[in-house]
């Protein structure tokens, strides 16, 4: 293997790094190997890598013998990857796609995702991963390993009381999220201004007694004004209520009215556990079925 430093320097020779695209590349080979270890890759896996850049993770992933689809938005990086991994592309172990991962269709048979992602796409990427997981036409994702900003990682797993919010609460509807290794700025080229951390995500396949889309809307609506009580925030009809099967503005208003005397409506969103959201959503649903 050529190693991270060689691949990063090779790309840098072709163009200066674009920080606007989140081009901060991991150059510590031990930490790169740690991502592969956390992902538990085998030759039977089909892996998605987001934003491979110089290919430091790409090289390590391919060394496991698995199939890899890598999506890169930067055209110069794409040309670099085509040259650096020509043999793997030729034998179809590596499929390299040029474009925006947030707008492209992903392969339907992915088993794992391993990526050092541009930090600005962290939230929308997790939304897409969740949609992929729920899609009945796609393969069941087994594990996701991503390197993200440490602050984002803590909010995702709700490490501290102050981290409780819609990001971590809605993610927990589908995923078991764990904090993994910390990664300091000095392990990147160029160095970012923030600390980073690996996160692992595994689907828990829990079946909820109410529509998970409705739960997500309720959580987002409440945390949009997190300092206010649910009595105030849930009075407003969620903007996308029509996207939830059998729900509309009138039904939401009827459900809200039926909960006027519910003591839970006096609480603020950070006082709710996930099970509390499920219970309240189920109660909203049942109150409009009578």
What pTM did the predictor assign?
0.92
- The number of beta carbons lying within 10 Å of the beta carbon of residue 15 is 14
User: For residue 197, what are the β-bridge partners?
Assistant: 148, 182
- Looking from the CA of 200 toward its CB, the CA atoms found within 13 Å total 15
Tell me the pLDDT of the chain (290 aa) as tens digits: 788 888 888 888 787 766 666 678 999 999 999 999 999 999 999 999 999 999 999 999 999 999 999 999 999 999 999 999 999 999 999 999 999 999 999 999 999 999 999 889 999 999 999 999 999 999 989 999 999 999 999 999 999 999 999 999 999 999 999 999 999 999 998 888 899 999 999 999 999 999 999 999 999 999 999 999 999 999 999 999 999 999 999 999 999 999 999 999 999 999 999 999 999 999 999 999 86
- Residue located via tokens 């043999």: 87
Q: Tell me the two tokens of residue 186.
A: 């000095």
CA distance 93 to 188: 27
Q: How far is residue 210 CA from its own chain's centroid?
A: 23
Sheet holding 175-183, edge to edge: 94-98, 67-72, 46-50, 112-116, 143-149, 196-203, 175-183
Q: Which domains does the chain have, with CATH numbers?
A: 4-203 (3.40.50.150), 212-287 (no CATH)
């Amino acid at each position: 293997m050529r190693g991270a430093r060689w691949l990063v320097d090779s790309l840098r020779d072709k163009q200066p790094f674009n920080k606007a695209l989140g081009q901060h590349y991991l150059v510590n080979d031990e930490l790169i190997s740690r991502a592969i270890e956390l992902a538990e890759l085998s030759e039977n896996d089909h892996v998605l890598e987001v934003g491979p850049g110089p290919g430091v993770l790409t090289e390590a992933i391919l060394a496991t013998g698995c199939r890899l689809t890598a999506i890169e938005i930067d055209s110069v990086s794409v040309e670099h990857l085509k040259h650096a991994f020509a043999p793997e592309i030729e034998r179809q172990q590596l499929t390299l796609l040029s474009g925006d991962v947030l707008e492209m269709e992903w392969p339907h048979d992915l088993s794992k995702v391993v990526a050092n992602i541009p930090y600005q796409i962290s939230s929308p990427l997790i939304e897409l991963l969740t949609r992929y997981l729920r899609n009945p036409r796609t393969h069941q994702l087994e594990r996701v390993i991503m390197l993200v900003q440490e602050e984002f990682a803590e909010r995702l797993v709700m490490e501290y009381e102050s981290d409780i919010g819609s990001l971590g609460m809605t993610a927990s509807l589908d995923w078991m999220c764990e904090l993994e290794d910390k990664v300091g700025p000095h392990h990147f080229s160029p160095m970012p201004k923030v600390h980073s951390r690996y996160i692992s995500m595994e689907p828990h396949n829990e079946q909820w007694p109410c529509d998970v889309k409705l739960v997500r809307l309720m959580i987002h609506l409440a945390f949009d004004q997190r300092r206010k009580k649910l009595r105030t925030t849930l009075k407003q009809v969620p903007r996308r209520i029509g996207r939830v099967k059998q729900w509309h503005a009138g039904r939401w208003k009827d459900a809200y009215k039926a909960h006027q005397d519910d003591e839970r409506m006096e609480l603020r969103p950070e006082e709710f556990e996930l099970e509390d959201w499920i219970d309240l959503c189920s109660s909203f649903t049942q109150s409009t079925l009578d």
